[in-house]
Structure 1
Amino acid sequence: MSQYFDMGDETLWNPSNGAAQLFVGQVGLYEDVLGVPSGIGPMESDECQVDPVVYEAFVGALLTWRDRTQHRVIDALSAGFIATALALGERARIRVDWPEPRMGHEGRTDIEVPAFPQHDWAGTAREQARELDRSMAR
């Protein structure tokens, strides 16, 4: 069994029920955390519609939120979702506005103490999204 994430008549992703359930659950969590809608419609009869305009804003807010953190646990918990969201966004042909890289702690909202060394989370997310896109069924 599987579910469909569609944009109009185009299927963007056709994951297994388990993968779809996890993704939709995390979408709801991040809608709450970010305070913005995702553009991922309700799953009805194993199908949901993706609104690319709303989804683009959601992905932008997600990347801005992630850029403001410097915490290993948040990094570990969010990395897979961000990569999946980016891969779906690529298929929906949304524009992705990457935040300018931050140095130091200025403007950050979640910082692990002691701070872990900064790494290129955005580069890692891009690579993970490319890898996932190759394996995400349509």
Structure 2
Amino acid sequence: MSQYYEVGDETLWNPSIGASRLFLAQVRLHEDELGLASGLGPMDMDECKIEAGAFREYTEALVARHLRTGHRVILALSEGFVATVLVLARRAGIEPDALRAGADGDGSAGGFRDVQVRAGAPAPPGQGDGDAARERLEALAHRLDRAMPR
């Protein structure tokens, strides 16, 4: 059994029910963290309609926050989810501005920044290594795109 994520008549993703349930739970969690609606409606009869405008704003804020954080645990917990959202966004024709080389990553994520502080520790991924963080996210999204059925 599977479920469908759709923009208009186009199916962006057709995951298993288990993967879909986990994904939607993370969507709702990040909606609360960002203070933004994702544009993903409820799962109704195995279909989730996506409102492209809200999804664009959510994706932009999510990617900007991910690239801006300096907290290793938050990065580890969220990287796969952010890459999955990025795949769906691109399939919907959305390219986040935060991924442009040289972008400052100060999207509309409330202006907060999570950092993990430890004396003598090198800067964690996502903090001070903008291009490298973008490259890691792009590489993971590329791998996931091939693994996410439509």
Whether TM exceeds 0.5 here: the answer is yes
Q: In the alignment, which residue of structure 1 is the partner of 2:144?
A: 132
The one of 133, 138, 143 equivalent to 1:121 is 133
Q: In the alignment, which residue of structure 1 is the partner of 2:6?
A: 6
- Residues 74 and 116 of structure 1: CA distance in aligned 2, closer, same or farther (over 3 Å): farther
Distance in 1 (CA, whole Å) between partners of 2:37 and 2:97 is 17
Distance in 2 (CA, whole Å) between partners of 1:20 and 1:127 is 22
CA displacement at 1:95 relative to structure 2:
2.7
Q: Which moved more, 1:65-74 or 1:117-126?
A: 117-126
Q: Deviations over 1:23-75 (max 9, x none)?
A: 00000000000000001111000001111111110011112222331011011
Percentage of matched positions with identical amino acids: 47
Distance in 2 (CA, whole Å) between partners of 1:109 and 1:116 is 17
Q: In the alignment, which residue of structure 2 is the partner of 1:73?
A: 73
SS of the residue corresponding to residue 2 of structure 1 reads: coil
Distance in 1 (CA, whole Å) between partners of 2:68 and 2:6 is 31
Distance in 2 (CA, whole Å) between partners of 1:135 and 1:53 is 26
How many positions carry a matched residue from both structures? 134
Q: Aligned ranges for residues 10-29 of structure 1 at < 5 Å?
A: 10-29=10-29
SS of the residue corresponding to residue 95 of structure 1 reads: coil
TM-score of the aligned structures, taking structure 1 as reference length: 0.90
CA displacement at 1:108 relative to structure 2:
6.5
Q: Which amino acid aligns with 1:125?
A: L
Structure 2: which 5+ residue stretches go unaligned?
A: 106-110, 126-131
Q: Which amino acid aligns with 2:114?
A: D
Q: Which amino acid aligns with 2:86?
A: L
